[in-house]
Structure 1
């Protein structure tokens, strides 16, 4: 039951100028594809091959003997989630129930933005910034390398990749500029709202 590399939910040029066609081609077709390929090769012929990738991630997290498998499983899943966390013409403020909950738990949309920028900008080295539901409360978290909220009992609503390959061709070392563009022009609040409704 091989994990399939998902097609991007938009054209390679759809996120320009915030994210270039070149970045998406390298990021999706090379980096993400490599994680998927390595994950499938690692689980082929094992009991993990019969499991959903989310269950594999949860079952092996924290096991040093499975770190290679975890890294490829989590990175394959994280990237699939990341593509859906963006959309052409996205960004700005959410609406509806998610907006109300965000205001209740953070105090305001601006306070959420502040926390999300701090998480993405403050992640030393490679990693991810997340908006999650944790114990019924919306929180911003960050994870290093391949880590994600799935095995921490949290429900991810959206994520932003802060590995250098996500932004370096377009922004070089200016990660804060990438984060600002992500929040202002890319966030897919419809995706986050659907995850929130299902949480």
Structure 2
């Protein structure tokens, strides 16, 4: 979801800046702008004194300007914190049975899960990413399957073997997984 928002916001902002900058550059280089354009020629300013001070004497103007700027600052801060937040789980809390617990590096568990998934029959490559909280991790698994493998069988083997092994080893009550599968595309070879 965040990737989609990033792409849309950056795309719209880039398009607006490109069109406005290109139009101002074109008028500055001497092209005749349309009659509705905001300035008339290369020596004209974008906002003259009358345009800048038109609404200044109305009581609603400054509160509206400040409210819009405050909303823009809050949206920019939300966007910044959402992008800086870690999406990968760095450690998992393992129940050791003595009431204390231990911390397991997230990358270690990801590596073991990926190795277990790759050892399954017909799985060419596996990529695992841990998300969620350290006491309730979730996994995102991407499998690259050989063309002859049934996806249902591969999913069944993944859940009954690799994910169950990881869940039991870490002492987790559950280990939800989002699995995406894709078939390997082999290049055609000439047979002589």
For normalisation by structure 2, the TM-score amounts to: 0.23
Structure with larger RCO (C-alpha < 8 A, sep 6+): 1
For normalisation by structure 1, the TM-score amounts to: 0.22
